[in-house]
Amino acid sequence: MELDKRVNGTTKLTGLIGNPVEHTVSPVLHNTLFTMMGMNGIYIPMKPDTDSLGNAVAGLKAAGFTGFNVTIPFKEAILEYLDVASEEVRLLGTANTVHIKDGRLIGHNTDGDGFIHAFRKQTGTDIRGKKVCVLGAGGTARALAVKLAIEGAGRICIINRTKPKADEIAEYINCSLAGVLKSGTHACTAAADSDEARCVLDRYDVIVNTTSAGMHPHTDSSPIKDDIRFLSRPIVYDVIYNPSETRLLRHARSKGCVAVNGAGMLFFQGLRSFEIWMGVCVPEKIVEDLLTEFLNYLTV
């Protein structure tokens, strides 16, 4: 036998806090990055109770973690525990990455950049000037809607079952971001399953699902009705990556749409988190090789 010597007293500790985390493949990405970069580090998923975020954060800080990712349902709640928030966090209102440096918790949000980078690479087109529908109004929806506005989307419609939550995001884009936006982006909202929502789904250029509908193990669910026709043949982007083809994406493909899952977004937001924690820039050759292997892994 051979002793496993990969973890020792100098190993840099990183990980993910969320609930649930059973579905995550982030450890595969980050631990492979550590190996490919020749760095002594480890990434582990952690599942604190939903009312124990403060204790979890204090524990990671006390244990000497270098940093951690944050996912559902903690992306907005984590802001309370940050010592410093990046400009991206201040604009987006959520954080998905925390760097612990000199005893201080520094919050970042790499979701928006990860989405935009993946969208361009996987669809071969840009978001500028397009009419984009965002399904959902949680932390990821807010981050992506704001990033879409900053990137110059022509119009953004946020569809959610609880319309007031969508209204809050739209108002933030239209009012609070007015001095930041240079493209004249306008945001509006619609209640899920309404006639207005159906009209948007049939006429917009891009549909982005940020809800958990269709995520493993609830793979039979979808954020839209089966009779939506997607008359404009939009690009349909589902941030879910497990399963690799959700019910929404199958439906979109059956209507002739370009359908893309969230694996690319996960990859690029994770890559940026790694670079923030480790203070490095991952070489392009490693990025390309790992992206290919990672996407192949998620489609098995």
Q: What local confidence, expressed as pLDDT, does residue 116 receive?
A: 96
Identify the three-state secondary structure at position 113: helix
Which positions of the chain have pLDDT values less than 70?
Answer: 300
Structure tokens at 105: 């918790």
Candidate list 12, 47, 61, 75, residue with the active-site label: 75
- Domain spans of the chain? 12-109+264-299, 112-261
Q: Are 114 and 267 in contact (CB under 8 A)?
A: yes
Q: What local confidence, expressed as pLDDT, does residue 23 receive?
A: 83
Helices (H), the chain: 26-36, 53-62, 87-92, 111-123, 139-150, 163-171, 195-203, 247-254, 263-278, 284-299
Residue pLDDT, tens place only, 140-172: 899 999 999 999 999 999 999 999 999 999 999
Q: What local confidence, expressed as pLDDT, does residue 239 receive?
A: 95
Q: Residue 5 catalytic?
A: no
Which architecture, in CATH terms, is 112-261? Answer: 3-Layer(aba) Sandwich (3.40)
Residue pLDDT, tens place only, 208-240: 999 999 987 889 999 999 899 999 999 999 999
How far, in Å, CA of 142 to CA of 148, rounded?
10
Terminal C-alpha separation, the chain: 30
Identify the three-state secondary structure at position 126: coil
Provide DSSP, 199-225.
HHHHH-SEEEE-S-TT-TT-TT--SS-
How far, in Å, CA of 22 to CA of 57, rounded?
20
CATH classification (class only), 12-109+264-299: alpha beta
Identify the three-state secondary structure at position 138: coil
Q: What local confidence, expressed as pLDDT, does residue 99 receive?
A: 98
Q: What local confidence, expressed as pLDDT, does residue 74 receive?
A: 92
- HSE-up of residue 171 (Cα within 13 Å, Cβ side): 6
The values of phi and psi at residue 20, to 5°, are: -85, 170
Q: What local confidence, expressed as pLDDT, does residue 300 receive?
A: 62
Q: Do domains 12-109+264-299 and 112-261 have the same CATH topology?
A: yes
How far, in Å, CA of 171 to CA of 93, rounded?
13
- HSE-up of residue 54 (Cα within 13 Å, Cβ side): 2
